[in-house]
């Protein structure tokens, strides 16, 4: 089998090559070579069944010419490359009340390479510590430098462009904060806080938390990091990390709420690789785009392994809000900040994006420009939907996402 990806515009045409094709061909060999945990097995099954007859769906029939178009249900798994667009649009619509008319900064905190083996063995503990250390660093700098409470939305990513394990946190930070007297305090226009200072504070907070986790026996030192279970080896690791520079990267600030929503659309519901980045699959090797036009070719089983490295623990929340944008402050402090900004702005910008359509058909139309009610044969708006059951079942499972 040899499949090459088509070059149709993204979002308009279904790619000829999908991650699901590679999983169907190589997941069996992967499971024979490795022992995937339950979370990974669920993802394998979900991706392989997504939008196939195994999940049921519906058939659209034109009432004028009789043309039939079957559509199968999505798996709705958050790791599936085909199930994120609608969830992303709805998430952005629900979060629009947390965006205020100010500049926003983008700060990235990266977990050092020596800690990645511990993160593989202890994903929940290490990811939560990453969230806590990075966001607390930003909030503390807001207090010490601006004497105000800032807002932070943090999104966890665990991959590089070639799907290697690389945990890091993308933080969207308000360009200022609300002081104790209810006044808005703006940040500098060119940068938020000094990167080197943030790096040192982030390192200190993370290592302090890591020491607490180890002392309270909340770290699992499995086979690949069993040596770190020895106090002397753990101490050596800490000493090494204390001497290293931790990577904190601050990008240029966004221009306003519109740019923030564009960012959210790219990052919040992204998975390790999209179908559009796949170039070819010959049954053995997979070729895909990485960065700046470069490509990567790896064995199909290795592709599956790398993809599954980024399956999050069940129920783990990868998008979190802190400070002004925390849930407890949306109706109080955040609203006060919005009122302050609108009062001092000579040209106030809209603080929200248009409300997303409610039905999945309307969402699909807004994302792709395709009206699913129009018959592709006769052009009339007369397509009617009829449910079809899952393969091997008499039940109907309509996708209403």
What does the alpha-carbon distance between residue 400 and residue 383 come to, in Å, rounded to a whole number? Answer: 17
Helices (H), 110-194: 116-121, 123-141
- Which is nearest to 357 in space by CA: 153, 83, 85? 85
What does the alpha-carbon distance between residue 361 and residue 339 come to, in Å, rounded to a whole number? Answer: 36
Q: Which two tokens stand for residue 401?
A: 């996402």
Three-state secondary-structure class, residue 232: helix
String of DSSP letters for 365-398: HHHHS--TTS-TTT--S-EEEEEEBPTT-S-B--
- Burial-class residue 39 by CB neighbours within 10 Å (0-12, 13-18, 19+): middle
Sequential pLDDT tens for the chain (401 residues): 566 654 433 444 567 899 999 999 999 999 999 999 999 999 999 999 999 989 888 888 998 898 888 888 889 899 999 887 677 777 777 777 778 989 899 999 999 999 999 999 999 999 999 999 999 999 999 999 999 999 999 999 999 999 999 999 999 999 999 999 999 999 987 789 999 999 999 999 999 999 999 999 999 998 788 889 999 999 999 999 999 999 999 887 777 776 776 676 677 778 999 999 999 999 999 999 999 999 999 999 999 999 999 999 999 999 999 999 999 999 999 999 999 998 887 554 544 445 555 565 665 666 566 677 888 888 888 888 888 777 655 443 333 33
8 A C-beta contact, residue 92 and residue 278: no
Sheet (strand 285-289) strand order? 3-4, 278-281, 285-289, 295-299
382 contact partners, CB below 8 Å, separation of at least 6:
62, 63, 64, 373, 375
- Burial-class residue 18 by CB neighbours within 10 Å (0-12, 13-18, 19+): buried
What does the alpha-carbon distance between residue 179 and residue 150 come to, in Å, rounded to a whole number? Answer: 9
């Amino acid at each position: 089998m040899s499949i090459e990806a088509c070059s149709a515009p993204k979002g308009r045409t279904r790619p000829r090559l999908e991650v699901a094709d590679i999983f169907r061909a190589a997941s069996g060999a992967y499971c024979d070579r490795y022992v995937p945990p339950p979370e990974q097995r669920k993802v394998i099954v979900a991706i392989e069944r997504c939008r196939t007859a195994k999940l049921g769906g519906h058939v659209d029939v034109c009432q004028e010419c009789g043309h039939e178009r079957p559509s199968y249900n999505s798996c709705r798994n958050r790791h599936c490359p085909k199930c994120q667009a609608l969830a992303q649009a709805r998430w952005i619509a629900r979060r629009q009340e947390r965006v205020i008319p100010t500049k926003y900064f983008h700060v990235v905190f990266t977990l050092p390479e020596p800690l990645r083996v511990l993160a593989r063995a202890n994903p929940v503990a290490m990811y939560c510590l990453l969230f806590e250390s990075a966001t607390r660093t930003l909030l503390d700098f807001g207090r010490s430098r601006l004497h105000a409470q800032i807002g932070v939305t943090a999104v966890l990513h665990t991959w590089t462009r070639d799907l290697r394990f690389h945990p890091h946190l993308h933080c969207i930070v308000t360009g200022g904060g609300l002081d104790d007297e209810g006044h808005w305090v703006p940040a500098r226009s060119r940068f938020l806080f000094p990167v080197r200072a943030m790096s040192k504070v982030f390192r200190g907070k993370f290592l302090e938390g890591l020491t607490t986790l180890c002392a309270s026996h909340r770290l699992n030192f499995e086979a690949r990091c069993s040596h770190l279970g020895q106090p002397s080896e753990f101490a050596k690791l800490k000493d090494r990390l204390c001497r290293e520079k931790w990577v904190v990267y601050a990008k240029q600030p966004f221009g306003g709420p519109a740019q923030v929503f564009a960012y959210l659309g790219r990052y919040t519901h992204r998975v390790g690789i999209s179908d559009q980045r796949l170039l070819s699959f010959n049954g053995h090797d997979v070729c895909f785009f990485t960065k700046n036009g470069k490509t990567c070719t790896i064995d199909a089983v290795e592709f599956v392994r790398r993809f599954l490295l980024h399956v999050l623990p069940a129920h783990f929340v990868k998008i979190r809000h802190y400070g002004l944008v925390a849930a407890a402050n949306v109706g109080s402090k955040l609203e006060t900040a919005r009122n302050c900004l609108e009062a001092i702005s000579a040209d106030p910008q809209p603080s929200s994006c248009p409300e997303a359509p409610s039905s999945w058909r309307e969402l699909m139309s807004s994302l792709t420009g395709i009206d699913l009610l129009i018959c592709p044969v006769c052009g009339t708006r007369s397509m009617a939907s009829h449910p079809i059951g899952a393969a091997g079942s008499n039940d109907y499972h309509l996708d209403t996402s």
